[in-house]
Every structure is written in structure tokens, then in C-alpha cells.
Amino acid sequence: MEVRTRYAPSPTGFMHVGNLRTALYEYLVAKSQGGKFVLRIEDTDRERLVEGAEEVIYKTLEQVGLSHDEGPDVGGAYGPYVQSQRKGLYLPYAEQLVREGKAYYCFCTKERLESLKSEDGFAGYDRHCRDLPAEEVRSLLDAGTPYVIRQKIPLTGSTTFTDAVFGEITIENKEIEDQILIKADGFPTYNFANVIDDHLMHITHVVRGCEYLTSTPKYNLLYEAFGWEIPTYVHLPLIMGKNDDGTVSKLSKRHGSVSFEGLAEEGYLSEAIVNYVALLGWSPSDNREVLSLEEITEDFDIARISKSPAVFDYDKLTWFNGEYIKAMDAETFLAHAAPYYWEVFGEQEKPAPVLQSILQARISRFKDIPGLLGFFKELPDYPAEYFVNKKSKTTLENSPQMLQAAIGALEGLDDWTLTGIHQCMMGLAEQLGVKNGTLLWPVRIAASGTLVTPGGAMEILTLLGREEALRRLRAGLEKC
């Protein structure tokens, strides 16, 4: 039998990290077994719909490389793939359950349901309409009384199911509420539409967060009521975030960005995000951490999904991002870095290979580039003490001498390239009989005005250009 999974998001805003992981694991479960990955938009909760959110879903899936085989935008044999366009399908199934005594019409008003709430705000339905006489039900329907259709949950016994990750789970039926199947507006509830659509679309594996474990008996009781085959359930561990005090709690905005869009805006690459999110609850068969989506798919196995909560570590994600940046070829690196170069240099053309050589191994996010290169835009004010460096054997006495010699040599240099400057400075150090660091430390300080820089003196001089480089070296000479 072909494995078929579905990602069924509601267009209610951004894509949370947890939703992204669910989509990723749905994709991996299907593709690792040669199956189909289906996209279905669940928009039955009309009050929570957010304009433009559906486009966010398509865009995000495209950005992270999760190509769906069927969906609203690509079609398929089991469409339509938007629940609001399937509205007419659900009521007949609910009415079938009513006729068979497995569901019932509930006429309770919003006010009555509010009155059932306990002091802590919990409102458990008291099954007031469950056993209304047939004549009364018919009379209320004929009068046009608003209603919902509720599922009849057994009042005794328990429901047991097996989850691929958590094993056998048993829930007492008395703990399960008579859930609503069809709402007063005629739309199905999320749970009911899920079951109907999953059956009609031949979904074999349902992947979702473990917070839905206790809801699964409701699904299974519906499958059993219709006599349908129950899918394989794959419940995923919680994603937690680190608190300031070292404890963990469910990932939320107080921990940092929790959406794909937010992480992308912070400078994280989609490939790095996917790689890291894949490891939130799943482990590869070997010790590798940096894996492409193709490699993850090849190695994916449901059996290696963990029951334990996964902690979202932003420092670890940053490390992953840096690894992906380091592995880029020159063209790709430049494409990502170019907008940030413009922030620093404007329309001035700078040698891209030199910038790449000082940045690629150092940065973890491209958005860090303007901060690292800020001294190119404006020379910081710096103290004369910066010229003193024990390791390079520079002092306030010899630094002026080094700068004076460097200025003299550079003023006569025709080849203002990295190669030309390198040859000039190495030759000068040899001529002066000093170590390279003794010459280059004061040159770098004067050129950058900061103790820590990406790249050394010669790269900085190259990028500054002749006029600005010499201006800064002369200013440094006056300062020390």
C-alpha cells in the first residue's frame, strides 16, 4: 500500500517552528518510503482566518524545499484540497451518524453552555441533548432552532490505540467529551473534517504533536463508527525553549523567534533551519549533524523519533547556519552577502574575493556583516593605547616609526591590490628587520580603529582603497 501523508495547516498566521517540523516529518515519512506528500488547507475556523496566511504556507514550503505531490495549487485525484470548498461533503456523514445513533443534534444555546463553566473556566458539556425524544428533536428542527451535531462518546469503558512513537495509549471514555462534529454555521469542526478528509484522501499516516495524543480516541471512535481503516499515528515530542533561569518550558515568543519567517528575517538560511528542525526529536543513524534534505530523507526512520521533549537551542541553530555559510561556493556567498555589502559601501565597488576571504569563515549570519564591517563606513574614535600590543612587540615608541615607513612605501605603490599590498608590506618588514606583526599591528589599528577585525591589515587596506587607506594611516600617525 502506498504511504500517503498530509500537511493540513490552518491559514491563521505565520508558520510556527512546531508546524514546520510537522510538515517536515510528514514529508519525510512519505518520501523515505516512496510515498506521496499532500497539502490540504484547513480553513473551517472562519473566525481565525488571517488574510494572506495561505500564501505564507505556499511560500514557506517552497523556501524549505518541501514539494507536495497534491494540493490546492497543483491539484490531484482527491481534490478540492481546501476544506471550505468541500463544505457540502461533511454534513451527510454527520447525519449518517445521527441516523445510526452515533451522533445527535444539540440545541443548547451559547448562554447555557457558558453557565456550565466552572470557576477555573473549564466547560465540560453535560450531554443535555444526548437523549432528547425524537419528537422533540423533530419539532426543534422544524422550527429552525439553531443546532450543532455532537458525537456520542461511550459513557463507560476505555479506548486504546497504538502510536508509532509513544506505543499503546489508553484513555477512559468518561474523560472524553461529546465533541461537536458540525458547528452552528454548517462548517465541520477541525477534528471531524480531519477524519472525513483523511479517509477520502487515503491518508495512511497522521503526523502531529503529542499534545493531540488525548484527542486521538475521538478520531478512532469516528473511524470505527464509519467502519473505516484507522491510519498509523505518529505523535511528535514537544519543542521546548530555554528560560533565563536554566529551566525549560514550551517554546514561545519569550524564547526568541518561533516562526520560520522570523528566523529567516534574523538571517538564518532555510537549509540550516530545516536541518536543525529535523533534529528536534529525530536522530540520524550516524553521528553526522549537517545533512541536506535529501540526505535526511534517505536516512529517515520513524523508529528513531524520540518521545522526549526537544529543546530549541538558538546557539545551535546559529552554529548550523555558520556551517552552511562556510560550505557555500563564491557565487552563492556573494548573492547572499551583496545586500549587506551595499549597506556598508553603498555604490562603491569592492573586490568580492577579498570580502569573502575575511568573512565567510567568520560569520554565522549574513546580517552580521554590516556590524563587522562598520569601521569601513566610518573610522571609530580610538585611543593611542590600541597601538600597544605585547605579542606583536609594538609600543607607542615604535608604532609611529612603523606607520611612517608604511605610508612611505604605500604612497609609491602602483598595484593597489591584495597581492600588491602584500608584497609591499612583506618587503618592508624585511627591509626594516622587524617581524611582520610589528609592522602590521599599527597599520591595522590605524586603518580600522578597532582591536578586532575580520581580516588583517592588508585586506583592510585593499578594501579601503588608496586614498582612504593613506588618509587613515596619516591620522593614526598623528594620534600615536
- CATH classification at residue 245: 1.10.1160.10
Q: Is the peptide bond before 80 cis (omega within 30 degrees of 0)?
A: yes
Mean pLDDT, residues 103-123 taken together? 83
Residue 78 belongs to a domain: no
Residue 432 belongs to a domain: yes
* Residue at 464: amino acid letter: L
The rounded mean pLDDT for the chain is 94
- CATH classification at residue 194: 3.40.50.620
Strand partners, 249: 241
Mean pLDDT, residues 294-312 taken together? 96
Q: Are residues 268 and 208 in the same domain?
A: no
User: Residue 123: its pLDDT value, please?
Assistant: 65
DSSP class per residue in 114-152: HHT--TTS------TTTT--HHHHHHHHHTT---EEEE-
Closest to 56 (Cα-Cα) out of 265, 362, 287, 268:
265
What SS3 class is residue 288? coil
User: Residue 358: its pLDDT value, please?
Assistant: 97
Residue 156 belongs to a domain: yes
User: Residue 253: its pLDDT value, please?
Assistant: 72
* Residue at 114: amino acid letter: E
User: Residue 53: its pLDDT value, please?
Assistant: 86
Indicate which residue of 117, 174, 253, 393 is catalytic: 253
- For 121-172, how does the pLDDT look when each residue is reduced to its tens digit (9 = 90+)? 556 899 999 999 999 999 999 999 999 999 999 999 999 999 999 999 999 9
Residue 151 per-residue DSSP state: E
Ranges 50-59, 406-415, 464-473: which has the least confidence: 50-59
User: Residue 479: its pLDDT value, please?
Assistant: 87
Which H/E stretch holds residue 159?
A: strand 158-163
User: Residue 50: its pLDDT value, please?
Assistant: 79
- CATH classification at residue 473: 1.10.10.350
User: Residue 242: its pLDDT value, please?
Assistant: 85
Backbone phi, then psi, for 227, in 5-degree steps? 75, 30
Residue 366 belongs to a domain: yes
Residue 119 confidence (pLDDT) above 70: no
User: Residue 249: its pLDDT value, please?
Assistant: 81
Instruction: Report the predicted TM-score, pTM, of the whole model to 2 decimal places.
Output: 0.90
Residue 253 among the catalytic residues: yes
User: Residue 262: its pLDDT value, please?
Assistant: 93
Q: Are residues 353 and 424 in the same domain?
A: no
Closest to 23 (Cα-Cα) out of 44, 3, 11, 38:
38
Closest to 280 (Cα-Cα) out of 230, 240, 227:
240
Q: Are residues 165 and 232 in the same domain?
A: yes
Mean pLDDT, residues 387-415 taken together? 97
Task: Tell me how many domains the chain contains.
Answer: 4
Q: Are residues 299 and 394 in the same domain?
A: no
Q: Are residues 278 and 394 in the same domain?
A: no
User: Residue 17: its pLDDT value, please?
Assistant: 94
User: Residue 441: its pLDDT value, please?
Assistant: 98
> 113 or 244: whose pLDDT is higher?
113
Q: Give the separation between CA 231 and CA 220, rounded to whole angstroms.
A: 9
What SS3 class is residue 68? coil
User: Residue 287: its pLDDT value, please?
Assistant: 86
Residue 119, classified by CB atoms within 10 Å of its CB into exposed (0-12), middle (13-18) or buried (19+), is exposed
Residue 305 per-residue DSSP state: B
Residue 397 per-residue DSSP state: T
Q: Which of 215, 236, 257 is the last residue of a domain?
A: 236
User: Residue 117: its pLDDT value, please?
Assistant: 80
Q: Which of 236, 266, 290 is the last residue of a domain?
A: 236
Please answer whether residues 383 and 457 qualify as being in contact, where contact means their C-beta atoms are separated by less than 8 angstroms. Answer: no
User: Residue 247: its pLDDT value, please?
Assistant: 83
Residue 49 belongs to a domain: no
Q: Are residues 193 and 314 in the same domain?
A: no
Domain that holds residue 342: 330-371
Q: Are residues 394 and 455 in the same domain?
A: yes
Residue 111 belongs to a domain: yes
User: Residue 13: its pLDDT value, please?
Assistant: 81
Q: Are residues 139 and 214 in the same domain?
A: yes
Residue 252 per-residue DSSP state: -
> What is the percentage of the chain residues whose pLDDT exceeds 90?
86
Q: Are residues 350 and 279 in the same domain?
A: no
Q: Are residues 285 and 351 in the same domain?
A: no
Residue 74 belongs to a domain: no
- For 44-101, how does the pLDDT look when each residue is reduced to its tens digit (9 = 90+)? 777 787 788 899 999 999 999 999 999 999 999 999 999 989 999 999 999 999 999 9
Q: Which residues are CB-contacts of 441 (< 8 A; sequence separation ≥ 6)?
A: 387, 389, 392, 394, 399, 402, 457
Q: Are residues 309 and 172 in the same domain?
A: no
Residue 60 belongs to a domain: no
Q: Which of 345, 371, 397 is the last residue of a domain?
A: 371
Q: Are residues 300 and 169 in the same domain?
A: no
Mean pLDDT, residues 325-335 taken together? 97
